[in-house]
Amino acid sequence: MGAKIKKLKKIRIHREGTSTLFYSLVLIIAIAVILWRSFDSKVPFWIFSVTLGAIYGIVTNFYRCPVRYFSGETDNVVVAPADGKVVVVEEVEETEYFHDRRLMISIFMSLFNVHANWFPVDGKVRFVRHEDGNYHKAWLPKASAENEHADIMITTPDGRDILCRQIAGAMARRIVTYAKEGEDCYIDEHLGFIKLGSRVDVFLPLGSEPCVKVGQKTTGDQTVLAKLIVDNG
C-alpha cells in the first residue's frame, strides 16, 4: 500500500486505563496509610496491602499496551486483532452485511490478556457501527450475534471486504473503537479497546486459508490468522 503512516505511540499502559490506575493507586495508598496509623497491630495493613496489591497488579496487566510491529509482508495476510485464544474457526452464514457464507475466526480474551485491539488487515474503513445487545459469556456461539458489539468493515487494497467485530462479554461493559469511516488503516495500528473479558470475530471470504486452529493462543498484531486467496481471474 505504499509508505505506511504510523500513528502508534510508544506507550506501555493503554490510555484507556491511565485514569483508572492513577486514582485507584491514590485510593489504595490512602487507605493503607489510614490502616497503618489506626491500629497497633499491622495485620490489617498487610492483609489489605497484599490483597489490593495483587488485584492492582491484575488490573495493570489488563491495561498493558505493548508496542508491536508485524514482521513480514502484509499483502493478503490477516493478522490477529487481539491477544487470546481461538474459540471458532468455521464457515458461517453471515446475514447482516454479506448475506453469504464466510470464514469466521473468533478470539476470546480473558481478564489476563492485553485488551488492546489491532487492525487485522491493511485497507480503508468502510463503516463503523455499534449495536446494543446482551452480555452472554463471550465464548458462546450466540455472543457474536446477540451481544453488544461494534462492527468495523475494512476494504483491502484489492477490493475485498473484511469484517472485524468487537464483542462485549459477560463482564465487559465498554467497547471503545478508534476506527473512523473513510480512514486508511494498517496492520500495527490500534483498532480499539475492550474492557474486561470479551471477544473479537473476523469474517473472511470463503477460500481464505486459516493458519490457526481452535484452542491456539494468539498474540495481537503478531499471529497470522489466515491468508487471503489471490484472485488472478
Q: Is the dihedral of CA 165, 134, 214, 66 positive or negative?
A: positive
**Is 198 one of the catalytic residues?**
yes
CB-based contacts of 188, cutoff 8 Å, min separation 6: 4, 6, 8, 68, 69, 70, 118, 119, 221
Query: Are residues 194 and 165 in contact, defined by beta-carbon separation less than 8 angstroms?
Result: no
Exposed e or buried b per residue across 112-141, where buried means at least 16 C-beta atoms within 10 angstroms of its C-beta: ebbbbbbbbbbbebbebeeeeeebbebbee
Cell 458461517 belongs to 92
Catalytic residue among 24, 71, 106, 198: 198
Grid cell in block for residue 194: 475492550
* Cα 188 to Cα 216: distance, rounded to the nearest angstrom: 21
Q: Single out the residue of 111, 103, 113 nearest to residue 82, CA to CA.
A: 113
* Cα 206 to Cα 38: distance, rounded to the nearest angstrom: 66
Q: Single out the residue of 114, 98, 83 nearest to residue 217, CA to CA.
A: 83
Catalytic residue ranges: 198
